[in-house]
């Protein structure tokens, strides 16, 4: 990989300052960025490591009943510490990558990268989470703007993510077994005022909400409610692992399984 300077701030304020350098790039757990650097697909002048910032780590409940997760919290920690409050999210975190990857990869890194096959974007969009940065709060519906594209500005750092806790939820992933990313993954969340369904891995536009399924499941929260629905293969990802039509089919199958497993 190309040479760079690396900084390891211990406060959010110092990280934001370090990000003011031209060519600065935030480094979360590095489980995507380090392979990217090795492939010389990125060449930052300065890497700002966020994993030494204590105030960006941990899982807690807010006074208004939201689950708050520091952006530098690893998947392994979320899997462990969110289990009692929000089992659907803990279950998602416990199946990202493999154990060693989960000990490094962070929720903030996953959301900032917005890989079209990553798991966390489905949870954030599927719950209507709030992405909190050093300057503002962004609703998940406004945050995801297409494959590897988000509402973040240059130099902006995600510090925390807040999830409204659903009555029932589940994330069902059809694993691409070599990469362990989602070939298709669906997060279903049932709230008092309706159901949200977010799909990752399938669309060329990245994570999206399947609104027809949301309407059907809000009326009847059962896999049967999806019977008459279908997903258009237009705009779905096609690659050696699956055609657009295959992915479109999987969206419905995974949604049904997620509903059946929701708890």
Binding site for another protein (CB under 8 A): 1-6, 8, 30-31, 34-35, 37-38, 47, 49, 51-52, 76, 97-101, 103-104, 178, 180
CB 57 to another protein: min, Å: 13
User: Measured from the CB atom, is 97 or 185 closer to another protein?
Assistant: 97
Count of Cβ atoms closer than 10 Å to residue 126 Cβ: 33
* Residue where the block lists tokens 């479109």: 248
Count of Cβ atoms closer than 10 Å to residue 13 Cβ: 12
d(CA 139, CA 115): 18
CB 152 to another protein: min, Å: 22
User: Measured from the CB atom, is 60 or 100 closer to another protein?
Assistant: 100
CB 1 to another protein: min, Å: 5
CB 157 to another protein: min, Å: 17
With a CB cutoff of 8 Å and minimum separation 6, the contacts of 200 are 116, 117, 118, 119, 121, 122, 182, 184, 185, 186, 187, 206, 207
CB 33 within 8 A of CB 51: no
User: Measured from the CB atom, is 47 or 131 closer to another protein?
Assistant: 47
Which of 111, 103, 99 is CA-nearest to residue 162? 111
CB 259 to another protein: min, Å: 24
């Amino acid at each position: 990989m190309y040479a760079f300077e690396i900084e390891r701030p211990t406060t959010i304020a110092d990280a934001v300052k370090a990000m003011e350098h031209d060519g600065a790039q935030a480094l979360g757990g590095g489980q995507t960025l380090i392979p990217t650097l090795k492939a010389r697909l990125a060449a930052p002048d300065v890497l700002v490591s966020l994993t030494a910032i204590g105030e960006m780590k941990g899982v807690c409940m807010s006074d208004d009943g939201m689950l708050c997760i520091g952006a530098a919290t690893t998947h392994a920690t979320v899997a462990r510490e969110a289990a009692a409050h929000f089992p659907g999210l803990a279950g998602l975190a416990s199946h990202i990558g493999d154990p060693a990857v989960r000990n490094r990869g962070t929720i903030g890194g996953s959301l900032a990268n917005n890989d079209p096959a990553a798991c966390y974007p489905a949870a954030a969009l599927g719950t209507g989470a709030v992405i909190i940065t050093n300057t503002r709060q962004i609703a998940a519906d406004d945050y995801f703007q297409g494959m590897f594209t988000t509402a973040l500005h240059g130099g902006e750092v995600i510090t925390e993510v807040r999830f409204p806790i659903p009555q029932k939820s589940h994330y069902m992933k059809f694993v691409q077994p070599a990469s362990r990313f989602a070939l298709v993954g669906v997060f279903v969340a049932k709230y008092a005022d309706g159901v949200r369904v977010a799909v990752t891995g399938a669309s060329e536009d990245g994570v999206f909400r399947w609104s027809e399924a949301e309407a059907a499941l809000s009326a009847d929260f059962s896999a049967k409610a999806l019977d008459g629905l279908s997903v258009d293969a237009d705009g779905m990802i096609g690659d050696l692992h699956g055609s657009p039509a295959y992915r479109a089919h999987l969206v419905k199958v995974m949604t049904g399984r997620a509903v059946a497993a929701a708890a």
